[in-house]
């Protein structure tokens, strides 16, 4: 596979951009390779600057539920751009977008748009603190909620991949207000609450973690969180930046039947454009300025292009609820094929899947939390990744990330992927 142009661009990029990339995992460091520079995406495929084409399963890290460049989103953007890119004023589309989110997610009575998932989670924590008049919050080891200072404590995703779960630049004061619990372990939460009585503003969790690989919460664990937060007057926040509108039309909370107090969104709600949102109970949301004292703002929040793309995506979801059955069918088919390959090679590598999110871990232990996830053989994953890439299959360049199946993936795509998976595993184990 010729990658000469990508190599040249990466060398040039390193002169002007730290590490040559604008988001760390893209550097391919953990898989022992160098990044490919992508020039065009269409459906389930994209192409790099050297003309290599791949069946890909990162979907821009989750947003592309319908594959790359679907016609209905492209048309929505073309229509919007005719009128301008940003006004810094309210638009009708913001109202329609907020209305649609509240229709799809029953726990959300009011919602505010922001520009990224990090902004959404950061704002949700501030709001919870303002609402409860408390300062501390609980997060879970291995969950990633963006790169705000107080979240970078045993974080997942890029922080976990690069081995720096607590980043330099995070102050002791920020770290002191972040209490760390064990994922899927309700007793660890109870101990923290008991030792910090009436000091905890919020519990924030990815109900389907997608940043230590795909690790779903246990139903009884989330039920326990809901009960504890209610009794202790703690704000329960579901970070559904990744799982929102991905695993069901109402997110992971719809699958589990558990309503949080606040929810954060991103990725799919922008239709592929940068966007975020947080919403929940009106009583809490009305604490935000200009109604209340909790300040939050964003110059480009709710900009017409992101709203047009996001509204088109969510409207398509609302009008075509059957897509989740189709996604389940595709993802199950791919999972089964990969599991059959693993079994045929006398291995028992862990595979986790929730809807169209899935991950194979290079460990034979059940993966249900951070401690079990990090037992994965990351060096072996790197070899496997490179073998898959050589066969035209582009996966996440990190063990601790999700694969995303889209409606655009065809049976032919899935069959090619299953075959490549068997050949790649055979070559590295």
Residue 394 structure tokens: 């582009």
**Given the structure tokens 């862990």, which residue do they identify?**
350
Answer for the pair 121, 239: CB distance below 8 angstroms, yes or no.
Answer: yes
42 is catalytic: no
Three-state secondary-structure class, residue 349: coil
- Which among 48, 57, 139, 144 is annotated as catalytic? 144
Contact residues for 82 (Cβ-Cβ < 8 A; gap 6+): none
Contacts of residue 240, defined as CB under 8 A and 6 or more positions apart, other chains included, come to 206, 207, 251, 252, 253, 263, 264, 265
According to DSSP, residue 261 is labeled S
Residue tagged active-site, from 239, 261, 369, 413:
239
Catalytic position from the list 29, 136, 267, 330: 267
Rounded to an integer, what distance in angstroms lies between the CA atom of residue 22 and that of residue 391?
A: 27
Q: Contact, 110 vs 187, CB < 8 A? A: no
What six digits make up the tokens of 65? Answer: 């539920």
Structure tokens at 71: 């016609």
To the query of whether residue 394 is one of the catalytic residues in this protein, the response is: no
Cα distance between residue 228 and residue 34, in whole Å: 46
With CA atoms as reference, report the closest residue to 254 among 379, 89, 108, 390: 108
What Å distances lie between residue 353 and 183, 239, 332, CA to CA? 17, 18, 8
The strand pair at 208-209 and 215-216 is best described as antiparallel
H helices of 233-377, in order, are: 251-256, 282-285, 304-319, 323-344, 370-373
Q: Is 349 a catalytic residue?
A: no
Question: What does residue 210 show for φ and ψ, rounded to 5 degrees?
Answer: -125, 15
Active-site positions read: 144, 239, 267
């Amino acid at each position: 596979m010729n990658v000469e142009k990508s190599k040249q661009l990466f060398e040039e990029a390193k002169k002007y951009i730290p590490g040559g990339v604008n988001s760390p995992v893209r550097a391919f460091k953990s898989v022992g390779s160098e990044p490919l520079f992508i020039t065009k995406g269409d459906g389930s495929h994209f192409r790099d600057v050297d003309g290599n084409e791949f069946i890909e399963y990162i979907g821009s890290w989750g947003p592309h539920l319908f594959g790359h460049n679907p016609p209905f989103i492209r048309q929505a953007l073309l229509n919007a751009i005719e009128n301008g890119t940003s006004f810094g004023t309210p638009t009708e589309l913001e109202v329609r977008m907020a209305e649609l989110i509240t229709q799809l997610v029953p726990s959300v009575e009011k919602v505010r748009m922001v520009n990224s998932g990090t902004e959404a989670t950061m704002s949700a924590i501030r709001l919870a603190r303002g609402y409860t008049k408390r300062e501390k919050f609980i997060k879970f080891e291995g969950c990633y909620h963006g790169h705000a200072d107080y979240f970078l404590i045993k974080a997942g995703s890029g922080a976990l991949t690069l081995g720096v779960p607590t980043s330099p630049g995070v102050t002791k004061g920020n770290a002191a207000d972040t209490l760390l619990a064990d994922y899927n372990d309700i007793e660890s939460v109870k101990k923290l609450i008991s030792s910090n009585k009436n000091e905890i503003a919020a519990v924030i969790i990815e109900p389907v973690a997608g940043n230590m690989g795909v690790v779903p919460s246990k139903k009884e664990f989330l039920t326990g969180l809901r009960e504890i937060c209610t009794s202790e007057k703690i704000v329960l926040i579901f970070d559904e930046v990744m799982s929102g509108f991905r695993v069901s039309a109402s997110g992971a909370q719809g699958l589990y039947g558990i309503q949080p107090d606040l929810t954060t969104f991103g990725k799919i709600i922008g239709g592929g454009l940068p966007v975020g949102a947080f919403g929940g109970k009106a009583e809490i949301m009305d604490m935000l300025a200009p109604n209340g004292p909790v300040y939050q703002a964003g110059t480009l929040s709710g900009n017409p292009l992101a709203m047009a793309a996001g509204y088109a995506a969510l409207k398509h979801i609302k009008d075509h609820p059957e897509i989740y059955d189709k996604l389940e069918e595709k993802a199950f088919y791919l999972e089964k094929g990969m599991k059959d390959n693993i079994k045929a090679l006398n291995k028992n590598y862990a595979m986790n899947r929730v809807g169209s999110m899935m991950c194979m871990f290079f460990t034979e232990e059940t993966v249900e939390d951070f401690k079990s996830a990090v037992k994965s053989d990351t060096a072996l994953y790197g070899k496997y990744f490179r073998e898959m890439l050589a066969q035209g299959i582009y996966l996440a360049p990190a063990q601790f990330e999700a694969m995303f199946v889209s409606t655009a993936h065809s049976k032919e795509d899935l069959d090619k992927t299953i075959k490549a998976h068997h050949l790649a595993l055979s070559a590295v184990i």
